[in-house]
Amino acid sequence: MKTYLSLVKFSHTVFALPFALIGFFLAVQRDGYGFEWTMFGLVLVCMITARNAAMAFNRWADRAIDAGNPRTAIREIPAGLLRAERVLGFVLLNCGLFVAAAGMINPLCLALSPVALAVVLGYSYTKRFTPLCHLILGLGLAIAPTAGYLAVAGHFAVLPLIFSAAVLTWVSGFDIIYALQDEQFDRQNGLRSIPAWLGKKRALSVSSGLHVLSALCLIGAGFYAGFGGWYWAGAVVFIGLLIYQHTLVRPDDLSRVNLAFFTTNGVASVLFFGFVLLELFVGGMAPA
């Protein structure tokens, strides 16, 4: 179990799960659909199994690439800790559980479940042909707020879509920072990424631009929904941490990439979720 949790980097669930729950509680509290433990559990199952499938499939698809990269050669498949066929079986198991849970939620979620899987699994091959792979990863995680809302409400709405846009640009931006570590390896092996395409300095500029867009989406969501002080405090914290992570990394100093990638973004996501909950449940906002 420990090896499989390491395979899927379970701790990285803190990136998308809080935003899925934001979508869930927007429907429950703001739009007045009411809370059900069964639905809450099904949303958690969908989030965990979709992410498990995506991460494990990425490790399976990239096993040969990972073996040739000193940074990733210690991962479970190239290191011999897990056999490739077992990892693929784990992917199929999680895909099946995801579709089954989506079917128990509502017909729209069931119909969209193959689309979601196509995005989160398909990302693993995008680095082979486009430097925009970071945006595909961002899109995979951006499904979370809208999916959480759809599970409860059964229809699309503007506000969770704005949050999805915020997640897309946020995740794409910090994935570019993470990819700085493999700039030379990617270029030498014909892999596509923003750092391999543009170089470290310009890649960081693209990342900064994406994070500006993410901040603007959060600001837009606040004005659109008429949120109050708790939300704006959370937005300030989140945007502040976006700015902070860009002070940690320079083209000639990548020693703090992991701090910028995991710690800063994980804290930003969890804290923002907490402030949104306070806005929804303590801020006195009436249902829309």
* pLDDT band per the 50, 70, 90 thresholds, residue 15: confident
pLDDT, residue 84, reads: 95
Of residues 285 and 226, the one with the higher pLDDT is 226
Q: For residue range 121-178, what is the model confidence (pLDDT) as tens digits?
A: 999 999 999 999 999 999 999 999 999 999 999 999 999 999 999 999 999 999 999 9
Task: Give pLDDT tens digits for 56-86.
Answer: 999 999 999 999 999 999 999 999 999 999 9
> CA-CA distances (angstroms) from residue 233 to 17, 87, 158, 205, 249?
20, 42, 22, 26, 26
| Homologous superfamily of the 2-281 domain (CATH) | UbiA prenyltransferase (1.10.357.140)
How far apart (Å, rounded) are the C-alpha atoms in residues 136 and 126?
8
pLDDT of residue 286: 43
| pLDDT tens track for 202-236 | 999 999 999 999 999 999 999 999 999 999 999 99
d(CA 56, CA 77): 10
Confidence of residue 10 (pLDDT cuts 50, 70, 90): low
Please give the pLDDT value at position 130: 97
Looking at the whole model, is its pTM more than 0.75? yes
Strand partners, 250: 253
Q: How far apart are CA 85 and CA 91, in angstroms?
A: 10
Evaluate if residue 263 carries a pLDDT over 90.
Answer: no
Q: Is 250 helix (H, G, I), strand (E, B) or coil?
A: strand
Domain ranges of the chain: 2-281
